[in-house]
Amino acid sequence: MGAEVVIEGLTKSFGKQTIWRDVTLTLPPGEVSAMLGPSGTGKSVFLKSMIGLLKPDRGRCVINGVDIVTCSEHKLYEIRKLFGVLFQDGALFGSMNLFDNVAFPLREHTKKSETEIRRIVLEKLEITGLAGADKKLPGEISGGMRKRAGLARALVLDPEIILVDEPDSGLDPVRTTYISQLFLDVNAQIDATFLIVSHNINLARTVPDNLGMLFRKELVMFGPREVLLTSEEPVVEQFLNGRKLGPIGMSEEKDSAQMAREQAEAEAGHGDVLNEDVRGVVPQMQVSPGVPERAGAKRRMDRVMRILHTLPANAQEGIIESLTPEQQRHYNVRPHASAPRQPGPEDTQQLPPVTSPGPVPNQHQGQLPADQVARIPGAADRRSPRHGQGGA
Ligand SMILES: Nc1ncnc2c1ncn2[C@@H]1O[C@H](COP(=O)(O)OP(=O)(O)OP(=O)(O)O)[C@@H](O)[C@H]1O
Ligand SMILES: [Mg+2]
């Protein structure tokens, strides 16, 4: 199983510019998580901080018991071997063919024989759909193939944690779907912990188990996908629907005058025309036929059902509705039973409780202050009462 990554109070600035502060979240082992956020909110800085390429000012990032913020260079070097990283452009060496590119980490970090290296490289090229392309130079292949080659290289050291920065940049929507499918298939095959950074709405809605969002220098939310997909937090709703109307503007944030102006324009019929306004929990992408089931998905389901009663009502509803009838029986839940309500004449029998009440461990370990789960910095007054409940 992939490693768990526990991040607590992580803060990063460059000089006087704070990029984000007090980021606290846990990447559950073997699950696929995605971090969203408008351009410039520090998503790439976050990934680089997680592998120790950038040094946070304070906070912890604990992997297998080692805090990579404060550990020695030697420890950091060891911990880095747990990571596979797919950079935005694939970051391949232009003068090396794909075979040598993918073999590079093995030659650099292991003492494996060339025969063994050949076996591993060809296997990873096969997994990523690049069989037969091993002699090609990066300049001779398409952007999608370069991405896949970057993923093949990220996989050779059998990583426990895979970080992916903007997998869709430079890819058409179809190829983006293919690479998303590949992430889930690889996750099923090696059970690694994934963190994908993206601003692709479609990918965000359909691929990860967990979603987080950075905005205005803070982590707005992090939790099971259903929490963000059903959230009424203005910034999350705006982002997941790609709308102009909302707190996010062209230059990161808007002032209240601009928001009021845009609201008035929208009411006068000059709102967004392209927005699909998809709401609720859309089905999650499944692994390809023939690929084993994702152990991480199964663990996540158990985990989410344990913390179900701590989640916002909309999320509870979305989760229960997305279960098969057998799963609903297994977890002893029924649709429309999550929100507390007065029994009406239609109730012919007592509805079972969603889950047993009482403190349960959530993925943030221990009791997470409610305001760390669902908040928009500086906008507590805009929040509906149901936000801020529950763990992630
Ligand atoms: N090495 C650095 N030195 C100084 N400032 C930096 C450095 N790296 C990033 N920044 C700044 O940190 C901020 C966040 O950058 P980052 O690249 O993480 O954004 P992002 O969320 O990944 O954006 P995008 O979606 O456009 O990729 C930016 O203002 C950027 O200028
Ligand atoms: Mg970036």
Q: Which domain holds residue 245?
A: 230-270
Cα-to-chain-centroid distance, residue 346: 40
Q: Is the pLDDT of residue 253 over 70?
A: no
Q: Quick check: 50 and 61 in contact, CB under 8 A?
A: yes
Q: How many A from CA of 179 to the centre of ligand 1?
A: 24
Q: Are residues 234 and 196 in the same domain?
A: no
Q: Are residues 202 and 250 in the same domain?
A: no
Q: Quick check: 151 and 257 in contact, CB under 8 A?
A: no
Half-sphere exposure of 125 (CA within 13 A, CB side): 20
Structural domains counted in the chain? 3
Q: Which atom of ligand 1 is nearest to the CA of 15?
A: 4
Which among 11, 43, 203 is the best mutation to test ligand 1's pocket, defined by most ligand atoms within 8 Å of the CB? 43
247 found inside a domain: yes
Residues 115-149, buried b or exposed e (16+ Cβ, 10 A)? Answer: eebeebbbebbebbbbeebbebebeebeebbbbbb
285 found inside a domain: no
Tell me what pLDDT residue 392 has: 41
Q: Is the pLDDT of residue 105 over 50?
A: yes
Q: Is the pLDDT of residue 366 over 70?
A: no
Which among 45, 168, 220 is the best mutation to test ligand 1's pocket, defined by most ligand atoms within 8 Å of the CB? 45
Q: Is the pLDDT of residue 12 over 90?
A: yes
Task: Count CB neighbours of 364 within 10 A.
Answer: 21
Q: Is the pLDDT of residue 346 over 80?
A: no
Give me the CATH number covering residue 74. Answer: 3.40.50.300
Q: Are residues 144 and 10 in the same domain?
A: yes
Range in 69-83, 110-124, 276-290, 310-324 the model is least confident about:
276-290
pLDDT band, very low/low/confident/very high, at 104 (cuts 50, 70, 90)? very high
Q: Which atom of ligand 1 is nearest to the CA of 41?
A: 21
Pick the last residue of a domain from 225, 246, 262. Answer: 225
What value does the mean pLDDT of the chain take? 81
Please report which ligand is nearest the Cα atom of 49: 1
390 found inside a domain: no
pLDDT band, very low/low/confident/very high, at 277 (cuts 50, 70, 90)? low
Range in 100-104, 318-322, 363-367 the model is least confident about:
363-367
Q: Are residues 96 and 179 in the same domain?
A: yes
Tell me what pLDDT residue 60 has: 96
57 found inside a domain: yes
Taking residues 371-385, what's their average pLDDT? 39
111 found inside a domain: yes
Q: How many A from CA of 366 to the centre of ligand 2?
A: 31
Q: How many A from CA of 111 to the centre of ligand 2?
A: 34
Q: Are residues 49 and 105 in the same domain?
A: yes
Pocket of ligand 1 (CB under 6 A): 14, 19, 37, 39-45, 199
19 found inside a domain: yes
Tell me what pLDDT residue 237 has: 83
Taking residues 207-224, what's their average pLDDT? 94
279 found inside a domain: no
Q: Are residues 109 and 218 in the same domain?
A: yes
Q: Are residues 217 and 317 in the same domain?
A: no
Highest mean pLDDT among 11-15, 176-180, 199-203: 11-15
Tell me what pLDDT residue 90 has: 66
Nearest CA to ligand 1 atom 2: 14
Nearest CA to ligand 1 atom 9: 45
Q: Is the pLDDT of residue 74 over 90?
A: yes
Tell me what pLDDT residue 284 has: 93
Tell me the C-alpha distance between 150 and 146, whole Å: 6
* Of 66, 139, 56, 62, the residue nearest 97 (C-alpha): 139
Q: Quick check: 209 and 297 in contact, CB under 8 A?
A: yes
Q: Are residues 191 and 236 in the same domain?
A: no
Q: Are residues 236 and 213 in the same domain?
A: no
Tell me what pLDDT residue 251 has: 61
Q: Are residues 9 and 126 in the same domain?
A: yes
**What residues pack around ion ligand 2 (CB closer than 5 A)?**
44
Q: Which residue has the higher pLDDT, 169 or 49?
A: 49
For tokens 């409610």, what's the residue? Answer: 370
Q: Are residues 82 and 174 in the same domain?
A: yes
Tell me what pLDDT residue 232 has: 86
391 found inside a domain: no
**What pTM does this model have?**
0.80
Structure confidence by residue, pLDDT tens digits, 16-60: 999 999 999 999 999 999 999 888 899 999 999 999 989 999 999
Range in 125-129, 143-147, 245-249 the model is least confident about:
245-249
Q: Which residue has the higher pLDDT, 362 or 235?
A: 235
Q: Are residues 29 and 73 in the same domain?
A: yes
